[in-house]
Amino acid sequence: MKGRWKLYILQCADSSLYTGITTDVERRVREHNESPKGARYTRGRRPVTLLKFWTFDNRSEASRAEYAFKALRRPEKLAYLEADTLSALVD
- pLDDT per position as a tens digit, 24-59: 999 999 999 999 888 899 999 999 999 999 999 999
**pLDDT in the model for residue 3:** 66
Its domain, for residue 9, covers 5-90
Domain count, the chain: 1
**pLDDT in the model for residue 87:** 76
Question: Does residue 1 surpass a pLDDT of 60?
Answer: no
- pLDDT per position as a tens digit, 9-18: 999 999 999 9
Secondary structure in 3-state letters for the chain:
CCCCEEEEEEECCCCCEEEEEECCHHHHHHHHHHCCCCCHHHHCCCCCEEEEEEEECCHHHHHHHHHHHHCCCHHHHHHHHHCCCCHHHHC
CATH at 57: 3.40.1440
